[in-house]
Structure formats: C-alpha cells, structure tokens
A and B are shown apart, each in its own frame.
Chain A
Amino acid sequence: MNTQAIRAIYIYEMKRFFRTLLQSFISPVISTSLYFVVFGAAIGSRIDTVEGVSYGTFIVPGLIMLSVMTQATSNASFAIYFPKFIGTIYELLSAPVNFLEITIGYVGAAATKALFIGTVILATAALFVDLHIEHPLAMVAFLVMTCVSFALLGFIIGIWARNFEQLQLIPLLIITPLVFLGGSFYSVTMLPPIWQAITHFNPVLYLISGFRWSFFGMADVPIGLSLMAIALFTGLCVGAIWLIFRTGWRIRQ
C-alpha cells in the first residue's frame, strides 16, 4: 500500500478546500438559515408536528443530508474531473499507485469536506430549533457513511463526464430530485399510498430515514434496511471504480 500517495492526494485536495474556506463555511450557513426562515418559521408555523416532532426540527436531518449528498458528489466529481480536463492526470496514471489508493485519497478528501459542511449545518440548525439527538453515535456513523458513499458516486461521475455540462448533469437531474423526493422535508407516511410505494424504490429514502432515526428514534423504513441500503450503495460504487481503473475507461486513451 502506497500510503504516502494517499496522504499526498488527501493533503493536496484539502489545501484546495482551505484556500476557499470562507466560501465553504459561509454558503452552507446562509442556505441553512434561509431554509429555516422559509420552512421553519413561515410554513412550519402552520404545520403542527410531524410524527410528534415540530416541523422545524423535523427537517434538520433532511437538510443536512441534502447538503452533504450534493457537496460530497460535487467535490469528488470535480476533484477527479479537473486533472482529466487539464491533463495532469498523466501523473496519476504513471505513478506507482493502484485504484484503491487514488480513490481513498480523493474520496477521503471529498468526504471530509462534506462532513465539515454537514457539521456546520447541524451547528447552525441548533441556533434555530431545539435539537435532541437520540442516538449520537449512529448519527455520526450515518453522516460519515453518506459522505463517503456520495463522494464515491461523485468520483464515478467525474470520471464519466466529458465536459463541465455533464459534470453538473447527474447531480442536477438525478441526485437533487431523489433527495427531495426521498423524504428530506416530509415523512413518507404523509404521501398517498401509490406514491409511498414508488418512493420505496428511491435509494435516498433509506439514507434519510436512517439518519432521521438517529435523531428522533423513528423512521420511515426499518433501520436495518437503511444500513443494508447504504452498504449496498457503497459496495456498488467501489466495484464500479475498480472496474473503471481496470479497464481504463475514460481515463486512458
């Protein structure tokens, strides 16, 4: 294992993040505050409670998930797309590293950034609503697993993308809708039966549900199912990346 390479990639990527720290810090704070003003104060004041939790509090896990998923995806996709775009990927291809080391370096850094943003949102949310976390350890675990799995997905998107448009396409057309429709801002039980059934095909539902369970101790789907879903998703992504590096798909000429 070339641990020096993992370290070098990780540090290099994190430096990029720290260069724009202010921006990375301020934008989630502002967007979270906006969500709380709109959903929490304006709309939420007309909704009693969801599953016995005030609406403002109820949306906290979904809100964190929304940002973490999109941030992990975009960070990781950009991190690997950019070297491909400007040509510095030659160095990665000629270095004594294997796919696992490259992936750990890039995905690790992207997941760390998303985790940082998730934590900032959680802290901001605590300023607006009363937060009581039922299962703190499970909460951290779910957060970390989501950061990692979506960074893996982003990494694949970054390799797949041939231009900046494609880089934005998947997050915009697939991830955002899946997150919104996965119960970020509502409980699935609030949907008509037919939509409830359809929603169960949305993989994001299992992640959000599990994360919400760690906050309030209640969920749309059993917690075991959530864990299985996230493990399956992570496994699929790692498998896809292994295959990509083995075949050199969209990396080598």
Chain B
Amino acid sequence: MIWNTLLLSLRAILRNLMRSFLTILGIVIGVAAVITMVTLGNGATRAVSDQIASMGANQLMVVPGQMMGPGSEGAQSFKIADVNAIRSQITSARAVAPVVNKSETVIFQARNWSTSIVGTSNDYFLVGGWTLAGGRTFSELEERAGRAVCVIGETVREKLFQRENPVGGEIRIRTFSCQVIGLLKAKGQAAMGQDQDDTVIMPLRTVQRRITGTKDIKRIVVSIKDGASIDSAKSRLVQLLRERRRLGPSEDDDFRVMDTRQLAETVTGTTKILTMLLGAVAAVSLLVGGIGIMNIMLVSVTERTREIGTRLAIGALENEVLLQFLIEAVMLSGLGGLIGILLGNGASVALSGVMGVPYVFDSSINLMAFFFSAFIGVLFGFFPARRAARLNPIDALRYE
C-alpha cells in the first residue's frame, strides 16, 4: 500500500509544480536561515575561543580588589615581594610575571604613536606565549637596574619605524630615551577586539621608576606547568595571598584570581547567547515556512475536494487518502529541508569567508533543522489530510 500511495503522492506533487515549489520555498528559506545563523555564530564562538587560547593556555591572572575596573582602586596593590613569594611557593607555576601598564605616547624621529606601555619581567613573554621576530629579551642586569630598554609589538614597529629595522633604534617616552632591543612576532586581535601587538614592553623597574612613580604592581600573571591542576594552583594561590595580605577567616578576598578558561567561558558565553538569539530569529522564519505549508495544504484540500471525492468513489480508503496527503507533505518539507541544508551550508561557507570566521559544520543543527521541517510537514500535513479523508464522498463530489 505504501508503494502505491507513494506513487500517487509523487504524481500529485509533479502535477502541481508551482504549488509544490511555493510550499518548498518557505521551508528552504527557514532551514537555510537557521543553519546559516547558527553556523556563523558557532564560527564566531570558535574564533573567539581560538584567540583566547592564543593568549596562552593554563594562565592565571591575579588582580587586586574584587571587581574589575575602576572599583578596584581602593584595594591594596601587589608588591614585588608577592611575585617572588608566588614564584617560590607555588611549585606548579611555570612562570610568574608582574604587570604594570600605562598608556603613553612614544616618539621616533618625527612620528609618534599612543600605545600601552607594559612593565614586567622576561616571564611575561613565557606566560603570554610571545615569541620574538628579532632582537632579544631583557638581560638580568637590565631588569635589576631598570635600564631604559624595550621590546616592541608589530603595530608599534609599523607606525614608528615603517621600513626601518627597529632593533637598536631609540624611541622617546616622556623625557627619556629607550633603546629597542627586540621585536615581538605579531599575534593579531585579541578576543575583545583590541590589538595585542600595539604594545611596548619594558623591565618592571624601568616603568615603576620613570613612568608610574610607585612600587605598586597592578596585576600578576601566572602560567601553570602542563598537566598540573589549575584549580589546585588557584586555591593555593588564593591561600598564599590571603596569608600575605593578613586576611582573617571572616574577611572576603580583596583580590581576584581568574583563569583563561573562565575568561574564555565568559566571552564565548556571550557569543553563544548571540548565536541562540540569531537562531531564534531564524527559527521564526522556519515556523512561518511551516505555516506556509499548512496554508497551502489547506487550500489545496479545498481545491482538491472534488478530486478526493472522485478518489473515494473509485474506492480509495480513508487511510489511503490520509497517507497520500501525509506523504506529499513529508516529501515536500523533506525536500525543502534538504535544499535548505545545502543552501544554508553554502551561504555559511561564503559568509564565514567574508566575515573572517572559521566555518564550523555543526551536524546537530543540520539534523535539527531537517527533522523540524519534516515534523512541520507531518504536523501541518496531517490536519488537512484528515479533513480531506473524512469527507463524505458524495459531499466531496458535489463540492463547488
């Protein structure tokens, strides 16, 4: 019976090509929109998490105060003794770097550029996963004496030195000159969009003495040895700092330890919400496509009432008519779903190329969109089909 009914459905679809085409179109657009939106969103999430991973895996960041931003000013800053204590007592730490940063204008000959000055130690390069494109890092003497030397990022090199070799050049910051001893390999944009290569890195003591004028350290970055537990390192770090800052058991932490995974979760969480939002908007168009199918099936039943009467008079069973309409609906929405999947993935590949995010094939959203469209077909095909099959043949035959 299935095979015969399949044949009848196929004939009915081919007989009404225009109507079939319009039915399919709604589903195609809906499915393609959902797939494109979600795939692009997933690509953006992947791009963001890739960039966070490029900041250096297994990284912990310690900042004073509980809140990020202006609210943290009141909290007690770290000192170099804190950094040394972490380095000696947290055994799973691979590298510990103090960080002081300030925005300053740097000048080379007639060109100037406003950038972020970072005062730190050689461990900073290790923690941040930086490699050098040329020159060298700081010597022990330079760090200890706070010599005016710096390693610059690719953006700074481009703005100030253009085609010249920067290594060995002298740049001016405020009133002092600073020798460029190294150039960082470009890293590109960070997760939040800022340019990571727009930086000038100096020994901590140089920045403290000549720019900030205090011995405060704004944050400490720590990278954990591969395979070591981040969570246990984190809890030991918290314990250590509480002791050093003499916090009683009832007092809250007046500093915060964040890991890259947490940061990644925060940022990708945002893009995921955005993806869901886009997907929801696209799902509405899928629903509209489904209502389109329901409409066309209802209209076609009205149009085809006489035909149904004829089929019933010829000896078609109620179930056969029902099944025929169901198969028609499922075939149309299934075909629409397939075309939508092809179109959606094609558009995703093209658009992710344009937007510069990776194309990530997500089989679950493809399957979901397909089965949802098939489900809509069954649902919206079923009710008109039942109405058609339950008609009294005489009434159906006389239907005007």
Q: Say whether A associates with B.
A: no
